[in-house]
Amino acid sequence: MIIENEINKRYGWKESLLDFMPMNIRAMLNKIPSELSNKMEEIRMRVNKPLMLISANRDYMLDEAGHICSDPKQAYKVNKLDIDKTLQFMSEYSLYAIEEELRNGYITLAGGYRVGVVGKAVMAGSAIRTIKYISGLNVRIGRELIGVADRVMRFIIDSDAKPLHTLVVSPPQCGKTTLLRDIARQLSDGCSACIPRKVVIVDERSELAGSYMGIAQNDVGIRTDVLDACPKAAGIMMAIRAMSPDVIVTDEIGRQEDVYAIEEALNSGIIVVASAHGKDISDISNRPILKQLMDKRIFQRYVILGRSLGTGTVESIYDGYNSNALLTKPMR
Q: What is the CATH number of the domain that holds 199?
A: 3.40.50.300
pLDDT at 7: 43
Q: Are 107 and 227 part of one and the same domain?
A: no
Q: What is the pLDDT of residue 119?
A: 96
Query: Could you give the residue ranges of the DSSP H alpha helices within the chain?
Result: 6-10, 12-17, 23-30, 34-37, 80-90, 99-102, 150-153, 176-189, 232-242, 256-267, 281-285, 288-295
- pLDDT value for 3: 53
100 and 159 part of one domain: no
What pTM was computed for the model?
A: 0.84
Distance, in Å, from the CA atom of 41 to the CA atom of 56, rounded to the nearest integer, reads 7
pLDDT tens digits for the chain (332 residues)? 555 554 443 347 888 899 999 999 999 999 999 888 888 999 999 999 999 999 988 999 999 999 999 999 999 999 999 999 999 999 999 888 888 888 889 998 888 888 999 999 999 999 899 999 999 999 998 778 899 999 999 999 999 999 999 999 999 889 999 999 999 999 999 998 899 999 999 999 888 998 888 999 999 999 999 999 899 999 999 999 999 999 999 999 999 999 999 999 999 999 999 999 999 999 999 999 999 999 999 999 999 999 999 889 999 999 999 999 999 899 98
Taking CA atoms, 184 is separated from 165, 233, 313, 318, in Å, by 13, 18, 19, 20
What confidence score (pLDDT) does residue 245 get? 98
DSSP-derived 3-state class of residue 151:
helix
Whether 18 and 55 map to the same domain: the answer is yes
Q: Which phi-psi region, left, alpha or beta, contains residue 123 (left: φ > 0; alpha: ψ -120 to 50)? A: beta
Kindly state whether residue 326 falls inside one of the protein's structural domains.
no
Please check whether residue 328 lies inside any domain of the structure.
no
Looking at the structure, tell me whether residues 236 and 274 fall in a common domain.
yes
Whole-number Å distance between alpha carbons of 86 and 93: 10
* Residues whose CB is less than 8 angstroms from the CB of residue 277 and which lie 6 or more positions away in sequence, other chains included: 169, 170, 171, 172, 252, 254
Alpha-carbon distances, residue 165 vs 55, 56, 142, 263 (angstroms): 33, 31, 26, 11
Strands 166-170 and 68-69: unpaired
Residues 109 and 160 in one domain: no
Residue 330 lies in a domain: no
Cα 145 from Cα 127, distance rounded (Å)? 36
Boundary (domain end) residue, out of 88, 106, 140: 140
247 shares a domain with 153: yes
Q: Are residues 166 and 313 in the same domain?
A: yes
Question: Do 270 and 240 share a domain, yes or no?
Answer: yes
Do 260 and 227 share a domain, yes or no? yes
Residue 329 lies in a domain: no
Last residue within a domain, chosen from 120, 140, 160: 140
Cα dihedral 249→173→45→118 (10° resolution) = 50
Q: What is the DSSP string of 207-260?
A: -SS--BTTB--S---TTEEEEET--HHHHHHHHHHHT--SEEEES---SHHHHH
Residue 80 covered by a domain: yes
| Domains of the chain: total | 2
Q: Which range marks the domain in which residue 35 is found? A: 3-140
For residues 7 and 106, state if they share a domain.
Answer: yes
What pLDDT is stored for residue 69 in this prediction? 95
Which residues sit opposite 314 in a β-bridge?
Answer: 305, 331
Asked if the structure places residue 308 within a domain, the reply is: yes
Residue 204 DSSP code: T
In a domain? residue 331: no
pLDDT computed for residue 4 by the predictor: 52
**Does 73 reside within a domain?**
yes
Cβ–Cβ < 8 Å for 111, 7: yes
Q: Do 7 and 21 fall within a single domain?
A: yes
Show which of 118, 140, 162 is a domain's final residue: 140
d(CA 140, CA 123): 26
| Whether residue 262 sits in one domain with residue 223 | yes
